[in-house]
Amino acid sequence: MSVPSTDPRKTAELEQVERALIDASARVPVLTFYTSAVFWLLVQTLFGVINALKLQWPQFLDGCSWLTFGRLYPAQNNLMIYGWASLAGLGTALWILARLCRVALPRPGMLVAGAMLWNVALIAGTAEILSGNGRGLIYLDYPRYVFGLLFAAYAISAVWGVVLFANRRPGHIYISAWYLIAALFWFPWLIGGANLLLGSGFPGAPGVQGVMQAIVNAWYAQNVINLWLTAIGLGAIYYLVPKVVGRPVHSYHLASFGFWSFAIFAVWTGGQRLAGGPVPVWVITIGIVAAILLLIPVATVTANYFMTMNGKFNLVYHSPTIRFTFFGAIAYTLANVVFAVSSFRSVSNITQFTWFTVGTDYLFIFGFFSMVMFGAMYYIIPRLVGCEWLSASFIKLHFWGCAYGWGMTILMLLLSGFSQGVMQVSVHEAHATSASTDFMLSVQASLPFLRGRSIAQILLCVGQLFFALNFLLMLLRLGRPSGAQPTLFAPIQEGAKS
């Protein structure tokens, strides 16, 4: 509050002008990130439907090498992380940082160039995987040069986040900014470090070999979720909820304790992705311990969230942002509990190497992170384009499409993995028939749930199409005129903002 004025009305006016300037500087770059993210979201959702159908109907589109499951599935996973989640996260992080630091984005053109280069990298990477040049490392399937491009694109866009932070107006550093700045620092280190260590992924090439590759890969896969996506998601929640509810974060001490315990514990997870594997046992044990200790920051975030929302939960019925972040906050807690419980050796003996691990990843990436990103987009985009969302019904359809689509997908994957694992953990020769061996029983146990997942994926597609349509209308400035009340599910009686 450095604005040198004693007249509170004048101060408020100045702050409003300042916000307008920041939003004007962010308009083109943040919308470029968002448009790209929504495009890749649609592509990856379509890939997801095809992949889900392929598992129960293996003849589906099986004649073409580009569409075989073993290529389309990694292509989908990588687009989920780098296409949708990272681009949406980067756009959101930069806008929130600009608002929190109260500085306009200095070089919007560089950010647009970064987003474009990022898209080029994604097109190249997806084409490489589909044409059979993937590395076969989870969330790191693109060849190394594609990660070089991604790294360059990241450098020329994310550096402005750091510049904003360095030039921030004096005053309190908000907890949201802590998480966002941390994420902006961790991501290049993660992606650069992992790719330097892994090399081309094939034997003989420089880099680590054999089991070390699997360890680096497992550690990277868990931490691209934790240190990159979760950190941005929490930064966004800590910004959006107080803003919409209209009161500060309940406890700053709790939030700061939560941040530090997150920073200390999260980075040690990942070993449990190799439970039972040919790795030193302590690598797995550290992962398990870290996953359990990670429940401490999760508890602080959860407590802070519920205390900040306390008494205002009726906003879930009114504000799209609050409804999406509410879903995200609950999914965050749930995801970490599922992750910790399934880390225990007695549980992971069953769930390891099944769809359960995929379900847990999706609970983080879709259930938590993506829902928070939608909440952020419903809040930020009207401020960038200068009009309000046209249709509350579209937002409603989008929410329920996501809630049922992702909710069902995740539930079905967890159940499918569990039943698959129960069949795999012991031998059932007695039940095997001539048509299906003992192992095939586990495949058959997973199939009913995988069929349920296919239905959920189609539902999800419908939800995302409504979102894309609503988003397109906003880009074309066909929304409702701003100045009116923000688009709500139902009018609010008392004076809370959208």
Partner 1 sequence: MKPTPLLFAGIFASFAAAWVGLISASNTQIGSLTPQVDEENADIYPINVAGIAEQGRRVYVSNGCNYCHTQLVRESHAGADIAREWGSRRTVARDYIYDTGATIGFMRNGPDLSNIGAPKAENSKRKYVEDPKWHYAHLYNPRSVVPASNMPSYRFLFEKRKISGQRAEDALDLADVEAGYEVVPTDDTRALVAYLLSLDRSHPLKEVKGAPAPAAPAQ
Residues 91-110 that bind partner 1 (CB under 8 A): none
Strand partners, 388: 480
Stretch that binds partner 1, among 107-115, 244-252, 264-272, 317-325 (CB under 8 A): 264-272
Residues from 283 through 322 that contact partner 1 (CB under 8 A): 283, 286
Residues from 150 through 209 that contact partner 1 (CB under 8 A): 173, 178, 181-182, 185-186, 189, 193, 197-198, 201-203, 208-209
Give how many residues touch partner 1 by CB under 8 A: 89
Q: Kindly report the CA angle at 130 between 271 and 198, in degrees rounded to 5? A: 35
Could you tell me the smallest distance in angstroms from the CB atom of residue 34 to partner 1?
A: 27
Residues from 45 through 64 that contact partner 1 (CB under 8 A): 54-56, 58-59, 62-64
Residues in the chain: 498
CB of 461 within 8 A of CB of 363? no
Could you tell me the smallest distance in angstroms from the CB atom of residue 135 to partner 1?
A: 6
DSSP per-residue letters across 127-186: HHHHTT-----TT--S-HHHHHHHHHHHHHHHHHHHHHHHTPPSSPPPHHHHHHHHHHHH
132 binds partner 1 (CB under 8 A): yes
Which residue, 192, 86, 204, is CA-closest to 144?
Answer: 192
Among 10, 439, 476, 478, binds partner 1 (CB under 8 A): 439
Please, which residue, 186 or 364, has the CB nearer to partner 1?
A: 186
Residue recorded with tokens 């059932």 = 428
Please, which residue, 7 or 429, has the CB nearer to partner 1?
A: 429
DSSP per-residue letters across 29-74: HHHHHHHHHHHHHHHHHHHHHHHHHHHH-TTTT-S-GGG-HHHHHH
Please, which residue, 135 or 383, has the CB nearer to partner 1?
A: 135
Residues from 354 through 413 that contact partner 1 (CB under 8 A): 354-355, 357-358
Residue recorded with tokens 């880390």 = 343
127 binds partner 1 (CB under 8 A): no
Please, which residue, 91 or 271, has the CB nearer to partner 1?
A: 271
Which residue, 273, 417, 439, 447, is CA-closest to 354?
Answer: 417
Among 112, 263, 299, 462, binds partner 1 (CB under 8 A): 263
Could you tell me the smallest distance in angstroms from the CB atom of residue 359 to partner 1?
A: 12
The type of residue at 259 is F
Please, which residue, 56 or 302, has the CB nearer to partner 1?
A: 56
DSSP-derived 3-state class of residue 357: helix
Residues from 454 through 473 that contact partner 1 (CB under 8 A): none
